[in-house]
Amino acid sequence: MDFKTALFYVFALVLCIAALRTITAKNPVHAALFLVLSFFSAAGIWMLLKAEFLAIVLVLVYVGAVMVLFLFVVMMLDIDIARMREGFWQSFPLAATVGVIIVLEMAAVLLRGFWSPDQQAPAAAATIGGTKELGLQIFTKYIFAFEVAAVVLLVAIIAAVALTLRRRKDAKYFSPGDAVKVKAADRLRVVKMQAEVERAPGADSAQ
């Protein structure tokens, strides 16, 4: 076993442990930090594969922007963690079913490449770190897998909005549909009044 293979096993082990702790940590802040560690481990694996562009994008975009935003949202929202855990087992069957379906869909897309490996894969892997070769591979050979990943991210965004959407009594809320239907006559009323002229002090005594 050479040094590169040993590094791969180290990064893979750290990645698996961090991913497991991300979904099992009780504190959401700790879960976000474990997710950051998993991103760094995945970036290290990309570096071993000579995909420097993917590694730096993973660190800059996800760790530098997305995860910082996650931490701010988690720390700013007053989430009742104990109340959320009460309904965990009630939602677990549905969540497990959706997770199994997503895994099967991604496996159906990705396993085809393992069953019929392309002979030109080593040549493409040598330049996969460049943006041009990466774009050609994503939008030609792996376009279906790319679209599946986009749908999964869209579902995750919708789920995040649904989980955090709450009605609070101390917050102002208005219906966007009612705001669009508002006319100028509903907001502005013109009132006609007689003009009043203010007399200067001492004008009556002068007369």
Residue-wise pLDDT for 76-115, tens only, equals 665 666 666 666 677 778 778 877 887 787 677 667 655 6
Nearest to 144 by CA among 120, 111, 110, 116: 110
**Above 60 in pLDDT, residue 183?**
yes
pLDDT band at 171 (very low <50, low <70, confident <90, very high): low
Specify whether the backbone of 183 is left (phi greater than 0), alpha (psi in -120 to 50) or beta. Answer: beta
**Above 80 in pLDDT, residue 74?**
no
* Per-residue confidence (pLDDT) for residue 137, from 0 to 100: 81
* Per-residue confidence (pLDDT) for residue 110, from 0 to 100: 63
% of the chain exceeding 90 in pLDDT = 1
Residue 53 near residue 133, CB atoms below 8 Å: no
What's the rounded mean pLDDT across residues 151-170?
A: 75
Tell me the pLDDT of the chain averaged across its residues: 75
104 phi and psi angles, rounded to 5 deg: -65, -40
pLDDT in tens, 9-68: 998 999 899 888 888 887 777 888 888 888 888 888 888 888 788 888 888 888 777 777
Structural domains in the chain, CATH included, are 1-77 (1.20.120.1200), 80-168 (no CATH)
